[in-house]
Chains A and B, each alone.
Chain A
Amino acid sequence: MLPVLCRYESRHTALGTDDTNVLAEFLRDLFSNTTSAIKVGNACIAEWGSVPASEWVAEMCATLDGEEFVDSKDLAAIIENRIREDFTHERTIEVQGWILSRTEATLCCLAANTLHS
């Protein structure tokens, strides 16, 4: 689905896989507190409407397309940069008044769709 993300360690191929368990592991690794990420995600979904997880995956993959990273620290830095670019280019969503970047909102939606429990 997203070749560039599949180049590195297996656990970071999550976004490009259909394996839900691998994706969940990826998200748990990204969010130290998945409960809160799910809360944000659910709030975003309430704004955007329910969307299949595959679409969030596709959007996230599109966001990260072309980026290379070797570990989660790299990935966090890439995501932070994407978040800043979102604010620069006004790619934002308003959730209960909070102005969030589309990247961070998408990740939370992905968490909400994937990490139900």
Chain B
Amino acid sequence: MVEADLCIVGAGAAGITLAREFVGHSTTVAVVESGGLELEDKTQSLYEGRVSGFPYRYPNTMRLRYFGGSTNHWSGNCRPLDEVDFLHRPWLPYSGWPFGRNELIPYYQRAQAVCGLQAFDYAIESWMDEARLRNFPFDPKKLLTGIKHISAPVRFGTAYRHELEDAANVTVYNHGNLTEIEATETAKHVTGLQCQCLTGKRFRVRTSIYILATGGIENARHLLASDAIQSEGLGNGHDRVGRFFMDHPHGIAGWIVFRNRFNIVDLYQAKTRRNAFVKGVVTMSPQILSGEALSNIYFNLAASMSRSEGEKSVSALLQSFREWEVPDDLLSHLGNIIADLDDVGEAAYHRMTDNADPFNKLRVHCRIEPTPDPDSRVTLTSDRDALGMRRIDLHWKPGDLALKSYNRGVEILALEVGRTGLGRMQVQPAGDSGWPDRFEPSGHHIGTTRMHAAPEKGVVDANCRVHDIDNLYIAGSSVFPTAGCNNPTLTVVALALRLADHIKNRS
């Protein structure tokens, strides 16, 4: 029997952030982590399950089930959700958070340091004071330039392991797998957790407060699998658990061939500025999102060098550009580009650089906000894992609005590139699904225990407490009601910090 004041299940970005917040606090904390300190195939295979909706690389290849969780392979890209992401948008079904972005700002500020970043500053104006930096002259009613910060990236398991080991009030139990959440007969209070090791050893955890921080699929799986009291799953009285699964479709939307203006694209290169590693990104303006009823999109631009024979004509074209002038032979060089598409495309995939040489083109990477849909969901199958737990079926539906928004967003970018005289954009062809063939999910598992003030519309309340259960909380991106289009880790950490404060105040 493990006893403490607080149990955190899962030691990824959310779980470790929560545990650190209690170091030195009067609260005793038990952290139960499925894996050990390294990746182990048997533990990782506990994630396995079926996929039935839109093609999806299975989550056991996307998430890591050991101490540090998926921060063991994350890219470190950080950007808070946009203001519009928190709003109810009539054109986006089920949209609207219980609070606005301002509620999270103090936690975003603290999350920066947790993620190994410099001060919270995402205002483009702050980064424009360097004399050589300029942003693209897009119509601000359509496209904006934003900033993202890039972490080292911090591997939470490595960075914070010793802090937790040294903490007198925090104990981490590796190789402990949650198999059943026990509750009172009214299902309004959790009484303990049944846990099991892959060796067969079993133990029980009993604390006052419980937090699930096991990831966007496993959080729902644990609730659904804990069906001893509520046959539909704990906290699932309104059939919301596991529904609204979202991930960000992403991929290469195309290439911008542009003039040779290094000082313009420099802002869009990942570089250290004022001790922060930052990069400009292109986002859609709130006006165009609302005016055209689109979900959110961001474009990440990566420079490519031209080296192939075919691209030499591109290079020649760009060398001839003068600011805001179209060269006399623009059309002829466009002919060369089109005649040599394969080389251009192939090179764009394989050549990136961050040196100071002039850039000929930008590869346009796009990430799209998925559409909340109750039929996009995680359910349990009759298959069982090595612990006897039912495996999941993942039925992902990115949504028609997401596809429409992608197509229109790319079109707007291409139009602005042409209108401003920057150059031309080549877009990826659509595949059979309507999406470009190389588009895929990001591995961001979102929405399956969504937050909503009303129990019939969400699984957790604004404090991330499971509705109608007084001592069970959920941390991680599974509580996001909508996904935005930015990488979720910074928001996951901010919400974990907010939850830690809430629990401390509750105590």
Q: Which of B329, B416, B427, B428 contacts A32 (CB 8 A)?
A: B329
A44 to chain B, nearest CB (A): 9
Q: Which of B326, B338, B416 contacts A83 (CB 8 A)?
A: B326
> Does any Cβ of A come within 8 Å of B336's Cβ?
yes
- Pick from B331, B333, B426 the residue with the most CB of A within 10 Å: B331
Pairwise interchain contact A33-B332, C-beta atoms closer than 8 A? yes
A113 to chain B, nearest CB (A): 15
Q: Given contacts A84-B419, A101-B418, is CB(A108)–CB(B425) below 8 Å? A: no
> Does any Cβ of A come within 8 Å of B93's Cβ?
no
B184 to chain A, nearest CB (A): 60
Q: Which of A75-117 contact B (CB under 8 A)?
A: 76, 80, 83-84, 86-88, 90, 92, 94-101, 104, 107-108, 111
- Pick from B328, B341, B418, B426 the residue with the most CB of A within 10 Å: B418
Q: Given contacts A83-B418, A84-B421, A98-B338, is CB(A34)–CB(B332) below 8 Å? A: yes
> Does any Cβ of B come within 8 Å of A11's Cβ?
no
Closest Cβ neighbor of A112 among chain B residues: B335
Stretch of A18-26, A35-43, A51-59 on the interface side = A35-43
C-alpha spacing A96/B424, complex, angstroms: 12
C-alpha spacing A90/B313, complex, angstroms: 27
> Does any Cβ of B come within 8 Å of A8's Cβ?
no
Closest Cβ neighbor of A104 among chain B residues: B331
Provide the residues of chain A in CB contact with B334, threshold 8 Å: 36, 40, 98, 100, 104, 108
Q: Which of A35, A76, A97 contacts B328 (CB 8 A)?
A: A76
Provide the residues of chain B in CB contact with A76, threshold 8 Å: 326, 328
Pairwise interchain contact B338-A99, C-beta atoms closer than 8 A? no
Pairwise interchain contact A31-B331, C-beta atoms closer than 8 A? yes
> Does any Cβ of A come within 8 Å of B339's Cβ?
yes
Interface string of B311-351 (1 = CB under 8 A from A): 00100000000000110111111111111010000000000
Closest Cβ neighbor of A43 among chain B residues: B338
Pairwise interchain contact A92-B333, C-beta atoms closer than 8 A? no
Pairwise interchain contact A97-B335, C-beta atoms closer than 8 A? no
Chain B: how many interface residues by the 8 Å CB criterion? 31
Pairwise interchain contact B339-A87, C-beta atoms closer than 8 A? no
> Does any Cβ of A come within 8 Å of B100's Cβ?
no
B4 to chain A, nearest CB (A): 58
Q: Given contacts A80-B421, A84-B419, is CB(A97)–CB(B428) below 8 Å? A: yes
Q: Given contacts A87-B419, A98-B424, is CB(A33)–CB(B335) below 8 Å? A: yes
Provide the residues of chain A in CB contact with B417, threshold 8 Å: 99
Q: Which of B335, B421, B428 contacts A37 (CB 8 A)?
A: B335
Provide the residues of chain B in CB contact with A30, threshold 8 Å: 331
C-alpha spacing A35/B339, complex, angstroms: 11
Pairwise interchain contact B427-A36, C-beta atoms closer than 8 A? no
Provide the residues of chain A in CB contact with B415, threshold 8 Å: 87-88, 90, 92, 99
C-alpha spacing A2/B296, complex, angstroms: 46
Provide the residues of chain A in CB contact with B339, threshold 8 Å: 36, 39
C-alpha spacing A104/B328, complex, angstroms: 12
Q: Given contacts A84-B421, A87-B419, A88-B419, is CB(A98)–CB(B426) below 8 Å? A: yes
C-alpha spacing A40/B332, complex, angstroms: 8
> Does any Cβ of A come within 8 Å of B411's Cβ?
yes
Provide the residues of chain B in CB contact with A96, threshold 8 Å: 338, 341, 426
13 contacts between A and B (CB under 8 A): A33-B335, A36-B334, A36-B339, A38-B335, A80-B325, A84-B419, A87-B415, A97-B429, A99-B414, A99-B417, A99-B427, A104-B330, A104-B331
Known: A39-B336, A39-B338, A104-B334; 10 extra A-B contacts, CB below 8 A, are A31-B331, A32-B329, A36-B335, A36-B336, A76-B328, A90-B411, A97-B426, A99-B424, A100-B424, A108-B335
